[in-house]
């Protein structure tokens, strides 16, 4: 009951025309920190997962901090090979007989190049898995972190997409390469998943959602709290991606309450 009261109060603070959204999209934030990177989110049928990468001597390593890089934790071992495995097993799809696709958010933690060039070379050898122009069920690869400036998007193959910045203006051709917009939640509101939060904060959140949607793109907030109240609020306010650090709990919640989140 308490969660529903909070939800109703928050909705009252927001413009009525902004409420509601499409089915929830689940994103495994810092997915490589799970006990089973890729496989845990995959088993829960997450729509998106995230890997932070460093390029060291021409090899991509997955880690949040450079000092924690481990020799065996390469991008190829943790993400490339598992994706090739499931696509080979499922007839060119992420899940057999399903139209659901996977988004792979790759966070460049050091310099754009050579990191991005090394990644492009790896993926170009498997366009049937990573190029939607070759396979409509292909993985959508989205670069975030130290991405190239928008004017340089065209230097990279069309199957490479980019995470958008709401503070930038994109040309029509540049916007086609934007897969989504991501924004730090704490820049808009200090709400931590309990209480009502401020009217000004919620207005700023909804303005960000509207700016993304007006450009035809979904939005993801990172640095947000995570609990059942947040799951309800984000859905009700039209925030497209639930950025989750607890994929098992998040997936269980949405499965158990599927009747509340139907399209």
- For the chain, which residues make up each domain, given as ranges? 21-256
Question: What pLDDT is stored for residue 5 in this prediction?
Answer: 46
Question: What pLDDT is stored for residue 7 in this prediction?
Answer: 53
pTM of the model: 0.91
Rounded to 10 degrees, what is the CA torsion of 95, 175, 225, 16? -100
Q: Which CATH superfamily is domain 21-256 in?
A: Phosphatidylinositol (PI) phosphodiesterase (3.20.20.190)
Question: What pLDDT is stored for residue 6 in this prediction?
Answer: 52
Instruction: Decide if 21 contacts 224 (C-beta within 8 A).
Output: no
| HEC letters along 88-113 | HHCCCCCCCCCCCCCEEEEEECCCHH
* Gyration radius from the chain CA atoms: 19
**Quick check: bond before 159 cis, omega within 30?**
no
Question: What pLDDT is stored for residue 148 in this prediction?
Answer: 97
Question: What pLDDT is stored for residue 262 in this prediction?
Answer: 58
Instruction: Decide if 149 contacts 185 (C-beta within 8 A).
Output: no
Instruction: Decide if 245 contacts 226 (C-beta within 8 A).
Output: yes
Question: What pLDDT is stored for residue 18 in this prediction?
Answer: 46
Q: Give the mean pLDDT per block of 10 residues along the chain (263 residues).
A: 51 50 84 96 97 98 96 97 98 97 97 97 98 98 98 98 98 98 96 91 96 97 95 92 95 83 57
Question: What pLDDT is stored for residue 3 in this prediction?
Answer: 53
Instruction: Decide if 166 contacts 210 (C-beta within 8 A).
Output: no
């Amino acid at each position: 009951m308490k969660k529903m009261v909070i939800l109703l109060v928050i909705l009252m603070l927001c413009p009525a025309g902004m409420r509601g959204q499409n089915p929830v999209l689940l994103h495994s934030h810092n997915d490589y920190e799970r006990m089973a990177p890729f496989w845990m989110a995959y088993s829960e049928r997450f729509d998106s997962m995230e890997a932070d990468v460093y390029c060291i001597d021409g090899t991509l390593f997955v880690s949040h901090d450079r000092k924690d890089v481990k020799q065996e934790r390469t991008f190829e071992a943790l993400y490339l090979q598992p994706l090739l495995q499931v696509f080979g097993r499922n007839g060119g799809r992420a899940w057999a007989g399903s139209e659901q696709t996977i988004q792979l958010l790759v966070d460049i933690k050091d310099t754009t190049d050579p990191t991005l060039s090394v990644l492009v070379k790896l993926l170009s050898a498997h366009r049937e898995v990573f190029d939607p122009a070759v396979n409509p069920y292909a993985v959508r690869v989205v670069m975030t972190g130290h991405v190239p400036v928008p004017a340089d998007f065209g230097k990279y193959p069309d199957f490479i997409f980019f995470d958008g910045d709401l503070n930038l203006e994109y040309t029509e051709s540049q916007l086609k390469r934007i897969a989504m917009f991501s924004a730090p939640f704490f820049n808009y509101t200090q709400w931590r998943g309990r209480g009502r939060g401020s009217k000004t904060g919620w207005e700023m959140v909804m303005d960000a959602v509207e700016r993304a949607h007006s450009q035809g793109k979904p939005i993801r907030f990172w640095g947000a709290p995570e609990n059942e109240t947040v799951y309800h609020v984000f859905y009700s306010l039209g925030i497209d991606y639930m950025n989750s650090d607890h994929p098992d709990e998040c997936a269980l919640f949405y499965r158990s309450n599927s009747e509340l989140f139907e399209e």
